[in-house]
Chains A and B, each alone.
Chain A
């Protein structure tokens, strides 16, 4: 993306961004300001992410969605207004998004993601897919990994009280500052390597005890992977809340998935699958706010090359009020 690379923060920006520059520094702010981000799939969660990263002052954000606004979209997408019913989601959200921070270039793309070629994704610094199918996620992740621009890949979604973030930065270099006791600041350069989404899905755990397993992966993440599989086999649709048939399919998929992953089938309880089936299609504001807050924060962390981003899953459970990070590797 041919953005003019600017090398300083203006005094106006310094005043506007004062409270955050005091947190992450002017260099991080500058990196964000020169960055381009794609958010594909406009949902409640995407609205949150857009709001947060636009406020932070990134260079440009492209919002991609080919669908039109339905009545129920108003329940979680606060960037759209009543009059926009029936119009394109991305276009409607962009109008309000621009007002959040006129310094950020908000670009609308109304094309279907399936029609976008790999080169499209490779022009961004960060690509973030919200609520997309697992097939799209894997394809776009692979495209980002092949990008010369080292495009970072995120995928996320919320299901009722629960939500996840997946992150693949391939090979990410960042710095960590540490205050020594003598008040000197030590800067440590680090890097993390990330597995691709398709590799992550092949992870084998080797039947450990539930206690050991729980430290590696949460039942919720495995249940969400089962949900992706269901969608894959059903033309992208989620299970219907009240469908016994869908629930039975989900339970079956759970059994095969856990067997393949070398995990005791009891690890992912029936009730958890049931909750995902009954609420999986719903996105509610507070859950979007929490997951969207972490997602935006992590995107900003990655852009600023300061501090460690999520490696490589973040799982939020609203019922338990926990947010855990799991590093899942192919192994």
Chain B
């Protein structure tokens, strides 16, 4: 009996051999990645490439079990490889401490794998690998987790939906006036502190209000005027900055930001007709009280609460504000001695920046009568932290290997999308739910396209040569773009004489082509020196003609879909017209129908969400979208709560609800569930 005897008994000799002969790429060696690599080396895989550009952090160690304290700051890919080889020294693992988007990881490189497995934590890299796998025609196993929730699925050419088939949730933005003048929730205050105030004080002068605040389109004169005033206020604050390091600087900044600016806003009575007006703060008043209370402040907080998880008192907040302001301005001054352009940016793991944002966000919350938050909570909200645990990652990575077995056994059709759901109340009878793989979205530009490789000497071949190649293949009046940049179209032929290299159409670039009949082809450039082309001027990998035939078919499908949508709309309109008040029963059924349609639509549109290793998409079974840890920009709180998640599939169970219910610690009436 040897090492693989269990595997042989279960999956059989032939599949075990296929697994052993396969070459797999694992993208990401983080939460899911560590579990996955362990599973792969223990499941008969012999040839694995892992890639991750990240290094190990203390907060990884609660789940990324291939790493230990002494590995902090080292390459995840490399340490993961070392640790996994201990489980099974007979496996070949190649570790790359690199970004998967680098040029050397071309379509051709992806073609060298039988299978790609994503264990990623951000949207950008997921979309990239999705596209590369489609172009290389390699099946991809996608995975994601957030807290207790998780998901695995397979992406494979024409058989399944791809990662881009459903539109993604865009990072949340806020109207600039909400942030600057009329905040109403903690997140508004945090965004103000992190994206406005912090940038103004410690950023570069050129950095404008950032991407999370959008100017309202329908801004009227009043709003425009207000925006002007706000701009002037920002300028005034910058003048105060010149006095950094001098006596009374903290007080000056404080009274400006939380005093005079607020006074001015308060006077705009129209603003406060429907909401509570802000109350300005005064530095000396608070600090006077602090003097009297200093003894009380020294009393240790209640022992069960972490310092970070307790909301600070107002004097505490002001003290933290002063300390962090002084330290950050000093740090900036030092930095600017060597680099006048230097700036400090917010980083959730940089204690001083987090202190400053927590303090200023809470002072602003205080001014507006909004709930204040602990430093722990502010860290999550400002840093887009997604909770993560070992068990969810372990389960997801196990499911990925089960899918890998099926794919390598040539049974992709048997693969399913599996969701991990969470049961807090004990009323679910399914914790793993599997659905058939979804069909591709015919409207998807990324996967409903032909990918064709073009081996060519980019230094000698011109755009004219390129156009000729594609028109010989059957395209007419071709239009060429690269990443949104127009290279050539029938009305713009300036570039015809330029070489591809001159226009940065170099090795690995994807070029989008569309012809007069709206047929689309994506060409990826493979640079080859003329000498390496066996006497040919170019070599096409893929059949342009065949691609065009497919595109014609697709266009027909799309037209049919369009017609069907129009018909449905017409029907809907007719139904609405028919539901006159006299026919009450019709009205009722209409409502039901509308609700069903709403649910269906939501399911169909279920925007993709990307989490720590985030679930790929929002299904009816998972919670609302969470922001990406690395995706940036998004400002949503992380709260993962699973109550109310459900589709009523569970059977009734004997659930005894007894005793009392507490609302924020207070006892209230008993609540009976069900």
Which positions in A face B, CB cutoff 8 Å?
7-9, 11, 14-20, 22-23, 26-27, 30, 44, 48, 51-52, 55-57, 70-72, 74-76, 78, 81-82, 99-102, 160-161, 176-180, 184-193, 215-216, 241, 278-279, 281-290, 292-294, 296-297, 300, 307-309, 311, 314, 316, 318, 320-327
Beta-carbon contact of B62 and A56 below 8 Å: yes
Q: Does B432 interact with chain A (Cβ within 8 Å)?
A: yes
Task: Tell me the smallest distance from the CB of A67 to a CB of chain B, in Å.
Answer: 14
Q: Which of A14, A190, A282, A290 has the most chain B CB atoms closer than 10 A to its own CB? A: A290
- Nearest opposing residue in chain A for B69, CB measure: A102
Per-position binary interface string of chain B over residues 652-674, scored 1 when its CB falls under 8 Å from any chain A CB and 0 otherwise: 01111111111110000001010
Task: Tell me the smallest distance from the CB of B115 to a CB of chain A, in Å.
Answer: 14
Q: Which of B6, B39, B148, B653 has the most chain A CB atoms closer than 10 A to its own CB? A: B6
Report B-chain residues with C-beta under 8 Å of the C-beta of A281.
Answer: 6, 9
Q: A190-B656, A325-B431 are in contact. Are A55 and B390 (CB under 8 A)?
A: yes
Give the size of the chain B interface in residues (CB under 8 angstroms).
91
Task: Tell me the smallest distance from the CB of A281 to a CB of chain B, in Å.
Answer: 7
Report B-chain residues with C-beta under 8 Å of the C-beta of A321.
Answer: 399, 402, 416, 418, 432, 434
Report B-chain residues with C-beta under 8 Å of the C-beta of A102.
Answer: 69
Q: List 19 A-B pairs, Cβ < 8 Å.
A: A20-B388, A22-B387, A26-B305, A30-B304, A75-B5, A75-B6, A178-B644, A190-B657, A282-B6, A282-B9, A289-B35, A289-B398, A293-B390, A293-B392, A297-B389, A307-B425, A314-B431, A322-B434, A323-B431
Q: Which of B39, B397, B639, B673 has the most chain A CB atoms closer than 10 A to its own CB? A: B39
Sort A-B residue pairs by CB-CB distance and give the 10 closest, nearest first: A308-B426, A289-B398, A323-B432, A293-B395, A23-B387, A286-B401, A285-B42, A290-B398, A293-B394, A282-B6
Report B-chain residues with C-beta under 8 Å of the C-beta of A193.
Answer: 654, 656
Beta-carbon contact of B390 and A286 below 8 Å: no
Beta-carbon contact of A23 and B431 below 8 Å: no
Task: Tell me the smallest distance from the CB of A169 to a CB of chain B, in Å.
Answer: 11
Beta-carbon contact of B62 and A20 below 8 Å: yes
- Nearest opposing residue in chain A for B671, CB measure: A188
Task: Tell me the smallest distance from the CB of B474 to a CB of chain A, in Å.
Answer: 43
Residue in contact with B5 in the complex, picked from A72, A82, A316, CB distance below 8 Å = A72
Beta-carbon contact of A8 and B303 below 8 Å: yes
Beta-carbon contact of A215 and B651 below 8 Å: yes
- Nearest opposing residue in chain A for B673, CB measure: A188
Beta-carbon contact of A11 and B10 below 8 Å: no
Which positions in B face A, CB cutoff 8 Å?
1-7, 9-11, 35, 38-39, 42-43, 58-59, 61-63, 65, 68-69, 86-89, 147-148, 303-309, 376, 380, 385-392, 394-395, 397-402, 405, 416, 418, 423-434, 612, 638-641, 643-644, 651, 653-664, 671, 673
Beta-carbon contact of B394 and A285 below 8 Å: no
- Nearest opposing residue in chain A for B389, CB measure: A20
Residue in contact with A185 in the complex, picked from B376, B380, B405, B663, CB distance below 8 Å = B663
Beta-carbon contact of A161 and B10 below 8 Å: yes
Q: A75-B7, A179-B639 are in contact. Are A290 and B663 (CB under 8 A)?
A: no
Residue in contact with A8 in the complex, picked from B304, B658, B662, B673, CB distance below 8 Å = B304
Distance, CA A34 to CA B388, complexed state (A): 22
Beta-carbon contact of B62 and A55 below 8 Å: yes
Q: Assuming A56-B391, A191-B658, what are 8 further A-B pairs, CB within 8 angstroms?
A: A20-B388, A55-B65, A72-B3, A99-B68, A190-B425, A279-B9, A290-B399, A325-B431
Report B-chain residues with C-beta under 8 Å of the C-beta of A9.
Answer: 306
Beta-carbon contact of A296 and B391 below 8 Å: yes
- Nearest opposing residue in chain A for B668, CB measure: A186
Beta-carbon contact of B87 and A78 below 8 Å: yes
Beta-carbon contact of B389 and A19 below 8 Å: yes
- Nearest opposing residue in chain B for A82, CB measure: B89
- Nearest opposing residue in chain B for A48, CB measure: B394
Q: A283-B6, A294-B395 are in contact. Are A190 and B658 (CB under 8 A)?
A: yes
Beta-carbon contact of A308 and B423 below 8 Å: yes
Distance, CA A200 to CA B663, complexed state (A): 37
Report A-chain residues with C-beta under 8 Å of the C-beta of B405.
Answer: 286
Beta-carbon contact of A19 and B306 below 8 Å: no
Distance, CA A21 to CA B69, complexed state (A): 19
Residue in contact with A78 in the complex, picked from B9, B38, B89, B431, CB distance below 8 Å = B38
Distance, CA A246 to CA B430, complexed state (A): 32
- Nearest opposing residue in chain A for B2, CB measure: A71
Beta-carbon contact of A56 and B307 below 8 Å: no
Report A-chain residues with C-beta under 8 Å of the C-beta of B656.
Answer: 190-193
Beta-carbon contact of A7 and B387 below 8 Å: no
Report B-chain residues with C-beta under 8 Å of the C-beta of A57.
Answer: 62
- Nearest opposing residue in chain A for B6, CB measure: A282
Q: Which of B401, B432, B641, B658 has the most chain A CB atoms closer than 10 A to its own CB? A: B432
Q: A76-B6, A191-B656, A292-B394 are in contact. Are A323 and B664 (CB under 8 A)?
A: no
Q: A11-B307, A281-B9, A307-B423 are in contact. Are A289 and B148 (CB under 8 A)?
A: no
Q: A72-B2, A284-B11 are in contact. Are A23 and B59 (CB under 8 A)?
A: no
Residue in contact with A14 in the complex, picked from B43, B306, B416, B651, CB distance below 8 Å = B306
Task: Tell me the smallest distance from the CB of B347 to a CB of chain A, in Å.
Answer: 15
Distance, CA A30 to CA B429, complexed state (A): 29
Distance, CA A289 to CA B38, complexed state (A): 10
Beta-carbon contact of B395 and A290 below 8 Å: yes
Beta-carbon contact of B425 and A322 below 8 Å: no
Q: A78-B87, A176-B425, A188-B673 are in contact. Are A241 and B304 (CB under 8 A)?
A: no
Distance, CA A314 to CA B405, complexed state (A): 23
Q: A52-B390, A294-B431, A308-B423 are in contact. Are A286 and B661 (CB under 8 A)?
A: no
Beta-carbon contact of A75 and B434 below 8 Å: no
Q: A55-B62, A74-B3, A289-B397 are in contact. Are A327 and B653 (CB under 8 A)?
A: yes
Report B-chain residues with C-beta under 8 Å of the C-beta of A30.
Answer: 304
Beta-carbon contact of B429 and A324 below 8 Å: yes
Report A-chain residues with C-beta under 8 Å of the C-beta of B11.
Answer: 284
Distance, CA A30 to CA B498, complexed state (A): 68
Beta-carbon contact of B65 and A286 below 8 Å: no
Beta-carbon contact of B429 and A325 below 8 Å: yes
Task: Tell me the smallest distance from the CB of B659 to a CB of chain A, in Å.
Answer: 4
Report A-chain residues with C-beta under 8 Å of the C-beta of B387.
Answer: 19-20, 22-23
- Nearest opposing residue in chain A for B431, CB measure: A323
Report A-chain residues with C-beta under 8 Å of the C-beta of B394.
Answer: 48, 51-52, 289-290, 292-293, 296
Beta-carbon contact of B148 and A279 below 8 Å: no
Distance, CA A161 to CA B43, complexed state (A): 13
Task: Tell me the smallest distance from the CB of A144 to a CB of chain B, in Å.
Answer: 20
Q: A72-B3, A192-B426, A307-B424 are in contact. Are A184 and B664 (CB under 8 A)?
A: yes
Q: A23-B640, A48-B394, A286-B398 are in contact. Are A7 and B304 (CB under 8 A)?
A: yes
Report B-chain residues with C-beta under 8 Å of the C-beta of A51.
Answer: 65, 390, 394
Task: Tell me the smallest distance from the CB of B1 to a CB of chain A, in Å.
Answer: 4
Beta-carbon contact of B430 and A178 below 8 Å: no
Report A-chain residues with C-beta under 8 Å of the C-beta of B42.
Answer: 75-76, 78, 285
Beta-carbon contact of A316 and B432 below 8 Å: yes
Beta-carbon contact of B62 and A19 below 8 Å: yes
Distance, CA A135 to CA B234, complexed state (A): 76
Task: Tell me the smallest distance from the CB of A3 to a CB of chain B, in Å.
Answer: 18
Distance, CA A184 to CA B371, complexed state (A): 12
- Nearest opposing residue in chain A for B377, CB measure: A22
Report B-chain residues with C-beta under 8 Å of the C-beta of A71.
Answer: 1-3
Report A-chain residues with C-beta under 8 Å of the C-beta of B88.
Answer: 74
Q: A14-B308, A23-B148, A75-B42 are in contact. Are A192 and B655 (CB under 8 A)?
A: yes
Beta-carbon contact of B2 and A19 below 8 Å: no
Report A-chain residues with C-beta under 8 Å of the C-beta of B308.
Answer: 11, 14
Report B-chain residues with C-beta under 8 Å of the C-beta of A327.
Answer: 653-654
Q: A19-B388, A190-B655, A321-B434 are in contact. Are A326 and B429 (CB under 8 A)?
A: yes
Report B-chain residues with C-beta under 8 Å of the C-beta of A186.
Answer: 661-663, 671
Distance, CA A327 to CA B655, complexed state (A): 12
